[in-house]
Amino acid sequence: MVLSLNPLTLIDENDSKIDLKYKTFLMDFVEQQYYLAAGKPMSNERKQQIVNGIIEASKQFEISPLLIAAIIDTETNFRNLIGSYGEVGYMQLKPTTAKYMIDKYPEIFEKLGYTEKSTDWIEKRLLTDPMYNILVGTAYLNYLMEIHEGDLFTAIGWYNGGGNEYYAKKVIFKINSINIKYPTI
C-alpha cells in the first residue's frame, strides 16, 4: 500500500507556519470527531492539550501528526477512555506497554519533564495528561515501525494488537478522508 506524501508530512521544529497550519486543522478535526462520538463539545482547554500533544509527539518521534490523529480517532474518537482489556486514555495503552516505551526512550520523556517510572504513576498520568498519553502512544508506534523495519502499514496493524490488517486499513482510510476534507494540509 502506498500513501501519498502529503499525510506523512512531518512538522519541523523550526517551521512555525506549518506548526500553525497543523494546529488549526487539528483543533477543527478534534472538535468535530469528538462531537460526533460524544454528542457534546470538548472543552477548549482539553482540545488544546490534545493538539499540543499531537504536535509535540510528531516532533519528538518524527511521525506525521495526521497519522497520530488518525490513530487517536480510530482508537477513541478523542475520548479519554478505559478499554475492556486495561487500555487507558486517548491512544488506548496498557500501563505495562507504556512503561516499556518510557524505559525504551527515556531521553525523550526526561527532556519533557516526565521522570517518574512507577506503573501506578504511569497509569494515572495516562488518564490525566493528554500530552503524556499521546507521547507514549506515539513512542509505541515508533517502536512498532522500528521492529517492522519501517513498514508503516504493518506497524499500524500491530498498534491495535496482533497485526490487524483491518485496523491498518481503517487508519489509512481515516488519513485519506482527512486529506479529502482538508486538502491544504
Average pLDDT over residues 52-57: 96
Fold of the domain built from segment(s) 14-181? Lysozyme (1.10.530)
SS3 assignment for 74-94: HHHCCCCCECCCCCECCCCEC
pTM score over 0.75: yes
CA 174, CA 172: separation in Å to the nearest integer? 5
Radius of gyration in angstroms for the set of CA atoms belonging to the chain, rounded to a whole number: 15
DSSP character at residue 163: -
Q: Is the pLDDT of residue 7 over 80?
A: no
Buried b (16+ CB within 10 A) or exposed e, 90-105: bbbbbbebbbbbbeeb
User: Where are the chain's structural domains?
Assistant: 14-181
Q: Which of 76, 87, 93, 78 is nearest to 135 (CA)?
A: 93
Model confidence over 100-110: pLDDT tens digits?
999 999 999 99
Q: Is the pLDDT of residue 5 over 50?
A: no
CA 5, CA 134: separation in Å to the nearest integer? 23
CA 124, CA 99: separation in Å to the nearest integer? 12
> Does 24 or 5 have the greater pLDDT score?
24
Cβ(125)–Cβ(45) under 8 Å? no
pLDDT class of 128 with cuts at 50, 70, 90: very high
